[in-house]
Structures are given as structure tokens and as C-alpha cells.
Amino acid sequence: MDSKKATDFWEQSRQNVELNPIFYSKIFSKLEYNRSKGGETMKIITRIWHGITKKEDADEYLNYLFDTGIKDYRSIKGNLSTKVLRRIDHDICHFMTVTEWDSVDSIKEFAGEKFEKARYYKEDKKYLLEFEENVTHFETYLID
């Protein structure tokens, strides 16, 4: 794809983004472009959680996170991928878990019926500085 076509494509994509009340995103022009080129698309759901710890607790919390939430994410058959993002910012540390799922039902298997709510563990209160009530979900389109 030449530079002008790529620029036009992304500009068109930005104009066609639609957010609904539960934070799903849809990028239709990208899908239509891909289909016009004979590509395949697959829709999955991306779930993003955010937490903050003190900088000095970051390594310990990361290990705790792997022993609890990450282990539980990975135990669900419909979990397609799991990533942990971590960023030190002065005296605090931001954590984000980014998970990909095959369906809302799989997310509910992990999070319960109120799957929009963040799921916390007993020892989280030892590390986390705040408890965000909700996570964010996105429709994610994988384009071949």
C-alpha cells in the first residue's frame, strides 16, 4: 500500500469509530478495506484492567499478580492471550492487564455475571492504592 492510500485509509478509519455505552469500539472502514482485499477477519474481546501500587511494591505485586489474576485468566479455556503492562512513574507504578477472549461467556467464567466490574483478590488491598470499579472491554478485530 502506498503512503497516500495508507493515510487515506487511517483517516477514514478514525472518522468511522463508534463507541457504545460499555466502551466497545468498532472500526468499520478497516474491515471493509480488508474484505475488499480478500482478507479474513476475526472478532475477539479485549479486556483491560488498571491498577496502581507504590513503586517499592511493584516487583512484589507483579509476582502476586502472576500467582493470582494471571493464573486465573489463563485457566479459562476462552482466554486467548494475556499481557501485563507495567510503568514506573515517580513514586508509583501503573499496571495494566490486557487479555483477549473468544466470547463474553468466557469473560463471565472468569469475572462473573457482572463482567464489567473489576475482580480483586484478598491481598490486593496490601498493594493497590485504589480500586477502580470497572474494567474496559473492546471489540477487537484481528485482520489477516
What averages of pLDDT result for each successive group of 10 residues across the chain (144 residues)? 41 40 37 53 92 98 96 95 96 97 96 96 97 96 79
Can you give the pLDDT at residue 113?
Answer: 97
pTM value > 0.75: no
Q: Which domains does the chain have, with CATH numbers?
A: 41-143 (3.30.70.100)
Q: Are strands 136-143 and 79-89 parallel, antiparallel or unpaired?
A: unpaired
Helix (H) or strand (E) holding 12: helix 3-15
Alpha helices in 79-119 (DSSP H): 104-111
For residue 32, count CB atoms less than 10 angstroms from its CB and return exposed for 0-12, middle for 13-18, buried for 19 or more: middle
Assess contact for 135 and 118: CB atoms under 8 A. yes
Distance, CA of 56 to chain centre: 25
